[in-house]
Amino acid sequence: MSASEPSKSLKRSSIPGQAVLAKTFHWVNLISLVMMIASGLQIYNANPVFGGRAGWHFPKVLLLGGWLAGGRHWHFAMMWFFAINLLVYGLYIALTRRWQRRFVSSSDIQALQVGRNPKRKMYARHRLVYTAIIPVLLLAIATGLAMYKPAHLYWLSGLFGSWQTLRIVHFMTVPIVVLFTVVHSLLALKVGRFRLIKSMFS
């Protein structure tokens, strides 16, 4: 065996393995999220949340659906994919107890406050961000459903006081989710470099 062969073997083994289900969840999340945002911007352009019909509009290259009804069809279709995927993923991490490694714990909070191990603090930050996005995703789904079926879910839409407040809350979840995706990716790069991200999608 040549000297280069062990190094290649070591390089391949250093790439973390990911469960097929975990990869599937990430792919469905990514695709449905991108399509939801694009179709949501199509809906937004029909009557901007800020400024009314005279408000700022997003460029057509970012839109999906062609017009208001088309955007709504795509948006709600992708919403079901996204919501069901999150539900299945929740059951998956509960049954496999992956939540013990994915979500923040009291020891993570302690590590962030008084810990001196940079790597330990990095993992704690990652789990904190991963945990904090859950209520945001649930809020995005709840507000979306309230706008989708305002008559049937009047009790849900009523929690937000007015239709405009409901629209603003739903819209503001989008930049938060996008920011989470960026931070989540940057933290993954710090922990395992590009090989960690690559392992999740290949």
Task: Place 195 in a pLDDT band, splitting at 50, 70 and 90.
Answer: low
The number of folded domains in the chain is 2
Candidates 45, 43, 69; CA nearest to 55 is: 45
Q: Summarize pLDDT for 37-77 with one digit per residue, the tens.
A: 999 999 999 888 887 777 788 999 999 999 999 999 999 99
Diameter over CA atoms, the chain: 71
Please state, as a whole number, how many other Cβ atoms lie within 10 Å of the Cβ of residue 187.
Answer: 19
Task: Place 142 in a pLDDT band, splitting at 50, 70 and 90.
Answer: very high
Point out the domain boundary residue: 47, 66, 96: 96
Answer whether residue 143 shows pLDDT above 90: yes
Q: Summarize pLDDT for 21-39 with one digit per residue, the tens.
A: 777 888 888 899 999 999 9
Are both 87 and 36 inside the same structural domain?
yes
What pLDDT does residue 37 have?
93
Task: Place 5 in a pLDDT band, splitting at 50, 70 and 90.
Answer: very low
Are both 119 and 200 inside the same structural domain?
yes
Point out the domain boundary residue: 63, 96, 129: 96
* Better pLDDT: 109 or 1: 109
Place of tokens 């065996």: 1
Answer whether residue 102 shows pLDDT above 80: no
Answer whether residue 81 shows pLDDT above 80: yes
Are both 120 and 202 inside the same structural domain?
yes
First CA to last CA distance, the chain: 28
Task: Place 78 in a pLDDT band, splitting at 50, 70 and 90.
Answer: very high
Are both 112 and 56 inside the same structural domain?
no
pTM beyond cutoff 0.95: no
Are both 81 and 115 inside the same structural domain?
no
Rounded Cα–Cα distance for residues 103 and 174 (Å): 22
Are both 67 and 112 inside the same structural domain?
no
What pLDDT does residue 199 have?
58
Query: Cβ contacts of residue 195 below 8 Å, gap of 6+?
Result: 14, 15, 16
